[in-house]
Structure 1
Amino acid sequence: MVEVPEPHTGWTFLTSHARVLAAIAQDPTTRIRDIAARCRLTERAVQKIISDLETDGYLTHTREGRSNTYRIPQGTLLRHPAEQGLSVAELLKMLANHDDRRHDYVDGAARALQEEDTGR
């Protein structure tokens, strides 16, 4: 059964396109279903975003059996004039660093809770 994404109201700092691209950067062989779950989008929305990214040269894919392997071309630049000269790679690196720190924090918090439970 496919899980429906939680509704969200208001605005966010990162677009759905940035979220999808970051998910692909983390795992180039990830499935659309997994991207949708991670980004809290529908699979249809993810398919449309991937199509947008491929059309504009931010993403390519190769078919391997029944799955895809995605590639983010080197040297692609962010689109908005305010980010002129900044690369997609720089944005993805920043997002990856954030994810690493968040996972470190969550792992540390889980260890601390486990130690409390065991009385250490």
Structure 2
Amino acid sequence: MSTPADRPPTWTFLTHHARVLVEIARDPGLRVRDLARHIGITERGVQKILTDLHQAGYLTRERVGRRTHYSLNLEEHFRYPTEAGLPVRLLIDIFVDRDTSGPA
């Protein structure tokens, strides 16, 4: 008999779009392959999400040599009506430790 710990979850609290934003906030230089592995979806799925986020103004892309570097627009607001007045910075701040104090 299998236990709940043996089965993969069938749903999560965060969408794949939110998880892509969080992973990029943690490491703006991640490759699509690495994003897909971290999130557990296909590279094609990540590419679609990156396109969605770029078109909606949540991120910009810059080529640095052979790699792509992503920058987030953390002041862009959530899309759902009940959170539309809130910036995505609130979500990122929950999951990403962005200590800006620099070295001690």
- Normalising by the smaller structure, the TM-score range is 0.7 to 0.9
**Cα distance, 1:85 vs structure 2:** 1.5
Match of 2:85 in 1: 85
**One-letter amino acid matched to 1:83:** E
Match of 2:50 in 1: 50
Match of 1:26 in 2: 26
| Equivalences, count | 91
Counterpart Cα distance in 2 of 1:90 and 1:12: 19
In structure 2, runs of 5+ residues without a counterpart are 1-6, 98-104
Distance 1:74 1:17, change over 3 A: closer
SS at match of 2:21: helix
**Cα distance, 1:87 vs structure 2:** 0.9
TM-score by length of 1: 0.70
Which 4+ residue blocks in structure 1 deviate beyond 6 angstroms? none
- Percent identical residues: 46
Match of 2:96 in 1: 96
Counterpart Cα distance in 1 of 2:13 and 2:76: 21
Structure whose CA Rg is larger: 1
Counterpart Cα distance in 1 of 2:49 and 2:36: 11
TM-score by length of 2: 0.81
Tell me which protein shows more helix as a share of its residues. 1
Counterpart Cα distance in 1 of 2:48 and 2:29: 18
In structure 1, runs of 5+ residues without a counterpart are 1-6, 98-120
Match of 1:39 in 2: 39
**One-letter amino acid matched to 2:11:** W
**One-letter amino acid matched to 1:75:** E
CA RMSD of aligned residues (A): 1.6
Structure showing greater relative contact order (alpha-carbon pairs closer than 8 Å, 6 or more residues apart): 2
